[in-house]
Amino acid sequence: MSWKDALWVVGSAGAAFLAISFVTGNRSLLSIRKRTSRERPAIWNQGSIRAGYIGSQLREIDKTRASLVISYDLENNTDSDVGLSDGPHLVILSRMKSDGSYSQDQPIRLSYPVFLPARQHARLALEITQPFNWPPDADSGSIEKLRNFVEQRLRNVGAFVLFDEADHRQLELPSGWEQLQEMPEESH
């Protein structure tokens, strides 16, 4: 047997060993992953942070887009600091009034990152940005157009719910925008 043939046999045996090790190792990694997911708490941490609706504001981004900003006061009732920021671990859903189901039919994001120290209060704002043709200031129906824009975004939303997948925390942001529909129309 030549040196070249011996090297080929040893290399082939090594590759076969690595392939067997990879397949066997992958199975053990899968079993570890399954075991870890079973050990996670089944219930999301709810109620440790309370939220109260403060108000809503419609902002003009440009002549073709508007941003609805909904503000909340947060109260941290835990002994731990909490940080919230947009990213892969934060999911914001709408809870529908009609049936309590969750929806992601509109893009909702945090207006800014929030740091909530233990046993303290902080403000949080959600932002929903959508296409909107801003009416001219002289338009007599501008208030109604603005009100319709807000009403369309919040019509069937009972609450917003934030899921922080990293900390397994759920935060419900209650409605309060019914009062927007009851506001008297301004006269020009």
Q: 28: domain range?
A: 1-40
Same domain for 120 and 161? yes
Q: Residue 92 domain-assigned?
A: yes
Q: Which of 79, 45, 56 is nearest to 165 (CA)?
A: 45
Same domain for 75 and 25? no
Residue 142 scores a pLDDT above 60: yes
Q: What is the DSSP letter of 45?
A: B
Q: Which of 149, 134, 141 is nearest to 180 (CA)?
A: 149
48 confidence band (pLDDT: 50, 70, 90): confident
Q: Which pLDDT does position 183 carry in this prediction?
A: 53
Residue 116 scores a pLDDT above 60: yes
Q: Which of 61-65, 106-110, 137-141, 162-166 has the lowest mean pLDDT?
A: 137-141
- Helix/strand/coil (H/E/C) assignment for every residue in 50-69: EEEEEEEEEEEEECCEEEEE
Same domain for 145 and 59? yes
Residue 24 scores a pLDDT above 90: no
